[in-house]
Structure 1
């Protein structure tokens, strides 16, 4: 494991570099010293060999014999610090330093001597050809490197008549080289120890900030972006550490921002009223918001299995595969458990234009469909309500203009009919304007102290005449005295007139209508109007407050169908609440709750 560390690699590299450098320099200087020593020795031996050659050549011309050089050769060997050989022109030794006298060279006899060294044979061959020759070798006799130098002996006509050979050890070179080698080894050992120590020191100095940066990077992978390297140096490692600290800071800030944005998006998705489902490429749900369960009539949050089952029943999965393949959005409408649902299916496409998943937006458009139908019904109802009296008026006018009606009593009857229809139109327009003002909030109320029992008694008296025509009795029960109510008298009177008028209108003859007023919880008036009329079907109760609602589908009633809508807005104008219950054949009950304030 340690071999893989930077410290080991740096130390090893440092030691190898020092080792190679020391070996190269040491071997280079040893070789230079050896070469210098050999060259110096060669020059000395050559000079001495040349001198001996010249001496022999001069004397050979006068005497022609070599015997008299026997005594001189011993001295020459001593002076030359080498063994001296003299050979004839055949390469045979004639005189050797340190040997006794023999016969002269000129007599052609061989002088008795010891055998020439093997390295001298090549030298003699070169010298006898007229060239000076040098040979280097190692002698086992001297246990040293040796030099053999040869110089030709020439006559006056430059003819080679022999050779002078000097053979000598290069004294002390082996010992010196051994000492140099030992010194180099010692130096190498010391340098290696120093290099190892320095390598370890500098590698640790170098790797310490790297380890700190590594620890910082590991902490960052664990989500700790507050960690720092702590490196203060100004070199490249310090700059790298500073950059890593800045990266950690920026990443921490960016991750915080991403989490905040993710939280915002999650909150937005969770709070919107539409259902949202995100799928991966395998159509596995990744995210589902809570609104989807409510839209799909699911009592609890969707599980993946339940969602898959419902979407398969609706045929959504096949459509999702199609939009992923085509990279195009799709809108479809589905009926689900009494609801009208709108599905918007879209592919999720990244920056490389590759589909990474899909998303389904589910909207419950049942209410919007109902409102759209209500709008269409409103237009149809208004058209119908206007068309009927206008048709009557138009027909009456045409009859009068054509002269078809000429009797005074008939003309008056037609005038009465047109006046009645005109009043009906006026009443319809007035109700529409009143409802419009109430819905827009532009209407204001005139607040005053009102004694509610007196107001109800006034309304009952006003409608009793209409009730008497059907032998209907209106009975008031409850409070005779009550705290003052701060409200708009005319608006409250209009409110109760609408309810009582409907009660009389839709009750059979000889029945009883009960008006009951009570004070509940000490701060709320409750007024209940109960009739014994025909009743309203339960499925129609949610729509009784809509504009132009009429329980008489044949539209034969003279009402505009706007009364209850106006009444509901009048209650809301006084910060109250209204509710209605009904049973077919038993009657209808309207309960109005109004908050009260004590008068000063």
Structure 2
């Protein structure tokens, strides 16, 4: 619609103001011209009446003034009536216009002869054409021979109305021309004003779409030009601010995604606004445990959030979800005056708690492993000192026990040192190409005697499409030594221990036995330090609980993988894959 645009509003405003001004001016001008014409007509009629009266007074006879009267009556578009001694002596409009009787009967005009003074009358009189407004000026006179008379000069107001009508037409024509010129000027002016505004609107929409390169052309130094300059400055600053905000947003997003801790932000109503991957993992675990919806907030976390908002203080708690331990810290976020939400930091404490347990278990296990040999060394040493062993054989037996326990303590200390170096990253591999067949045959011969003593069968199953393997020979032999030695210790007489090896793109090794096996509860922990499935049973067989932990570290150093499978009373199998490069 036209009134919804600046052009239309400006045009209608200017046109409305001009119309009001022209209307008032037209009314005033029409009134002015009407009064002016009436005043001019009155002045003219009065002058004509005075001229005729003067002429009648000065001439010797009234007939001598008749040419003057005829000239005035014909020239000034007026009619003349002259009465001498109340009788009509001259009437230029008699029979066509105003009747002499009407003048004589008029109470107002009658004062001319009665009071002998000039009279001006503006009234409606009857004429041959009907009722008509007549302007009459009466002037008394006295002839040279002493007779009294009156001169009446009159004119119809229709002549004045015609003049006023012509004036009105001229004024209306001028007003129309002024309106047309004003319309053209208003459209021109509004176009000059609105063209930059339309350009700014177009560029504002482009800025809304992300285009910050376009700028408003400034062609003047007026308010429109200043607005264009302000718009261009705003566009530049907005572009810079958005760039800075996007950089900060990207930086914050990368920080949140790279954090190991989960971050969850809440609004005032407790709705999750932002989460990062660790927080999504925490929520997913909680959903699986409590069978909630995908974006449901954990009950414990909701309780902490409510306490934080209510007390406006940090809330800390720790709870378990799906067997994992999580510590949650909820901190309120403040607006101008009150709390506008909260942020929760979720930290997975499972590894920390497991490491704490491992440290405690390590100290307890080391103390436990060392206490027995130390007690035995102390006891048998006291027996020797107190001469409890009477015979040489008893002394030798005590000496052998002391020697065995010292060896056991030495193995424990050496294995602890090896494991500590490995876990600290000091394990350096000396890889070289080794002929696979001779290597495994050497390992088989190494344990053949111990297997025969334990009355178990040791079998080597070797497949070597690739003749050589690129490995640290000593460390791989240490792996097999630990695994085969454990298999022999845990396999009863008559059992079978099998060493399988396939050398191709990788060196695949298996050590399986038909021994007592490992329970499902103990299987996930077999590679941890000092872990023993049956400490009472393994103690008599010389185990320290460090062998498999050392094996795991050696395999990891080779960037390989090791997996254990076992079933109680049916045996255990260890699978090892080492990269052959």
Instruction: Specify if TM > 0.5.
Output: yes
Q: Contact 1:575–1:594 at 8 Å: present in 2 too?
A: yes
Q: Confirm whether residue 470 of structure 1 aligns to residue 454 of structure 2.
A: yes
| 1:449-528 pair list within 5 angstroms | 449-479=433-463, 483-519=467-503, 522-528=504-510
Q: Which residue of 2 aligns with 1:560?
A: 544
Q: Which residue of 1 aligns with 2:317?
A: 332
* Equivalence for 1:81: none
CA 1:482–1:227 in 2, change beyond 3 Å: closer, same or farther? closer
- Alpha-carbon distance in 2 for matches of 1:220, 1:304: 46
- Give the aligned partner of residue 2 of structure 1: 2
Residue 548 of structure 1 corresponds to 530
Does the Cα contact within 8 Å between 2:286 and 2:322 map onto a contact in 1?
no
Helix, strand or coil for the counterpart of 1:340? strand
Q: Report the Cα distance in structure 2 between the residues aligned to 1:296 and 1:217, rounded to whole angstroms.
A: 42
SS state of the match for residue 542, structure 1?
Answer: helix
1:240 corresponds to which residue? 227
Distance 1:304 1:414 in 2: 64
3-state SS in 2 of match to 1:478 = strand
How far apart in 2 are the matches of 1:302 and 1:173? 107
Distance 2:261 2:343 in 1: 13
Structure 2 residues without counterparts, runs of 5 or longer: 47-57, 61-67, 69-82, 86-103, 112-119, 126-132, 138-152
Give 3-state SS (helix, strand or coil) of 1:332's partner.
strand
Counterpart-to-counterpart distance in 2, 1:583 and 1:592: 18
**Structure 2 vs 1, CA of residues 430 and 137 (structure 1 numbering), >3 Å: closer, same or farther?**
farther
Hey, what does 1:157 align to over in structure 2? none
Q: Does 503-512 or 278-287 show the bigger shift?
A: 278-287
CA distance in 2, matches of 1:146, 1:363: 115
> Do structure 1's residue 578 and structure 2's residue 565 form an aligned pair?
no
In the TM superposition, what are the counterparts of 1:130-141 in structure 2 within 5 Å?
none
**1:191 is matched with which residue: 178, 194, 202?**
178
| Contact 1:451/1:482 (8 A) holds in 2 | no
Matched residue, 1:206: 193
Verify the 8 A CA contact 1:293 1:302 in the aligned structure 2.
no
Deviation at 1:567, TM superposition (A): 1.5
Match of residue 386, structure 2, among 399, 404, 410: 404
Q: Deviations over 1:402-447 (max 9, x none)?
A: x534868577766655554443333222111211222223232333
Counterpart contact for 1:342–1:364, Cα < 8 Å:
yes
The equivalences for 1:379-390 within 5 A come to 379-390=363-374
Quickly say closer, same or farther: Cα 1:12–1:406, change in 2 above 3 A.
closer
1:371 deviates by: 2.9
Structure 1 unpaired stretches of 5+: 46-68, 72-77, 79-97, 101-113, 122-135, 148-167
| Cross-structure match for 2:150 | none
Residues 261 and 300 (structure 1), Cα distance of their counterparts in 2 relative to 1, 3 Å cut: farther
Count of aligned positions: 526
Secondary structure at the aligned position of 1:446 is classed as: coil
What is the Cα deviation at residue 549 of structure 1? 1.6
TM-score by length of 1: 0.65
Question: Aligned to 1:450, what secondary structure does the other structure show?
Answer: strand
**What CA deviation, in whole Å up to 9, does each residue of 1:304-359 have, x standing for no partner?**
96147x656x454344333333333433333334343444444444455441x445
Please give the alpha-carbon distance, in whole angstroms, between the structure 2 residues aligned to 1:301 and 1:449: 50
1:534 maps to which residue?
Answer: 516
Residue 211 (structure 2) aligns with: 225
In the alignment, the residues of structure 1 paired with residue 534 and residue 403 of structure 2 have an alpha-carbon distance, to the nearest angstrom, of: 25
Q: Distance in 1 between matches of 2:430 and 2:210?
A: 66
The superposition leaves residues 195-233 of structure 1 with CA deviations (integer Å, 9 ceiling, x where unpaired) of 233123212322233233334445555x35358575442
How far did residue 503 of structure 1 move? 1.5
Q: 8 Å contact 1:144–1:173 — kept in the other structure?
A: no
Instruction: Provide the C-alpha distance between the structure 2 equivalents of 1:303 and 1:335, rounded to a whole number of angstroms.
Output: 12
Deviations 1:488-533 (Å, cap 9, x if unpaired)? 33222222211121122222234332223333xx323333222222
